[in-house]
Structure 1
């Protein structure tokens, strides 16, 4: 098994920095994809893929086409980064969790590329939903790989993740019934930015809890809240009306309760561990 020390000395950029950058760009790609869909730019580029409607069919002819074209460009860059991260994970002997998480993300890429093309050619709700679902799955696997890689480079990672969950999840819970029904485009993008960040934090908390051999209930609760949050975000890609507000509010409340429990248990365990440490130092 690779040691924590093997995450350093990789040259001009360390593996954990590479993993974090890839995950961050994938996060941005998801938001760009949501913006492209909500703005209706996926119907541009003359409905062609991988070509567009500008010069030689390779470049955009107008602003809406540029949005779709730029989304494709960023997706291509992310694809190469995921490939490079997977190769580096195996060649440099990263931990088993890192290797298989990155490999899983790479394995999903071909299907995601096909779905991306179909969103332009056919633009059906089921295809758009599947495209978002695979995007979130790839993002989740990259978050897991990054969490494993960053664990030895962060001070009190579980405590930091718990505090971040306490800050982010309540915003999602409160905003969900309103944003997914009638939110404007900027509000919609902001909601998904916070929601995906909360999703990543909950996943990281679960990974770090399991890796440190801490409470299984914290890990299970964190993963459960993350899975429900992903389902809630996926629900937002469908057409909703006011009758869905109670259902969305109930789902948000359940996610908030699970996240609160996981964060509370984590912070309580951290406080319990701090007291003996302080007594030994005095």
Structure 2
């Protein structure tokens, strides 16, 4: 199994796993702030200037809407540098290939995300907004994958932990989907995407942790496949809600959320039922 190299500082305040967890939290927050910016229509503030704003010397916001847009950019700066530093640290510190490659891929995507962020201000078109969100989700998935691999050894039964998180988070996401489509209130939008991103993270962790067994049997393959498929469908569901939708397309979004529930709950059921069995006792 491709495992991470552990050093004496793994439990320190600025240890690699902890900093990676902070980076995952910052990326999560950055996406939510970006969603708030888009829903509030704040992307057209700062007088449509990028990377400048509309306040003093063009460096600071002049009002609340422009502050939202400015603050989104402000959080993006340390997040990007932290990811870059972690990628360099992963290569220099002898981390596993999967952690190094995941972080390197996330950093490689960052320049395109910066350009797309600028286009959402200068053009503010659906195409750029959608691409900006899709790229953010991809970077988030890569950071979550690296974090899951780095934290795996710290949990006695990581698949069970991830399954419980999925089981708790997916139902609210599914139930809220039609209300987000029809109501569209700011508070509901933020809560919905917060729960959705957390469920997305838990599904990624479940799929990856289950696959880390020395040899996958039939049950583990089903768990990993269901969790992986649920992750993809959940991400696409959140992406669909960033687009203008007809009644037919709204029904398709609700159907996608229901599919997320089915796949996720199957993965949870398989995990909680079989995770403590020995491979010889598990059905193929």
Which bin holds the TM-score, normalised by the shorter protein? over 0.9
- Aligned equivalents of 1:3 and 1:237: distance in 2? 37
2:9 aligns to what?
Answer: 9
2:112 aligns to what?
Answer: 111
2:233 aligns to what?
Answer: 228
User: How many residues end up aligned between the 2 structures?
Assistant: 275
8 Å Cα contact 1:8/1:15 also seen in 2:
no
Say what the alpha-carbon RMSD is for the aligned residues.
1.8
8 Å Cα contact 1:27/1:139 also seen in 2:
yes
**One of 260, 263, 267 as aligned partner of 1:262:** 267
- Aligned equivalents of 1:12 and 1:200: distance in 2? 23
- Aligned equivalents of 2:7 and 2:177: distance in 1? 38
Unaligned runs of 5+ in 2: none
1:248 aligns to what?
Answer: 253
Counterparts of residues 170-249 of structure 1 (less than 5 Å): 170-213=171-214, 214=216, 215-249=220-254
2:70 aligns to what?
Answer: 69
- CA-to-aligned-CA distance 1:184-230 (integer Å, 9 cap, x gap): 00110000000010001000101101112441221111111000000
TM-score, normalised relative to structure 2: 0.92
What is the SS of the residue equivalent to 1:9?
coil
- Aligned equivalents of 1:54 and 1:247: distance in 2? 43
Aligned-residue offset at 1:263? 0.8
Q: Looking at secondary structure, tell me which structure has more helix per residue.
A: 1
Aligned-residue offset at 1:3? 5.2
8 Å Cα contact 2:5/2:94 also seen in 1:
no
What is the SS of the residue equivalent to 2:52?
coil
- Aligned equivalents of 2:276 and 2:208: distance in 1? 20
- CA-to-aligned-CA distance 1:55-113 (integer Å, 9 cap, x gap): 11111111111110000000111100110110111010111110000001001000000
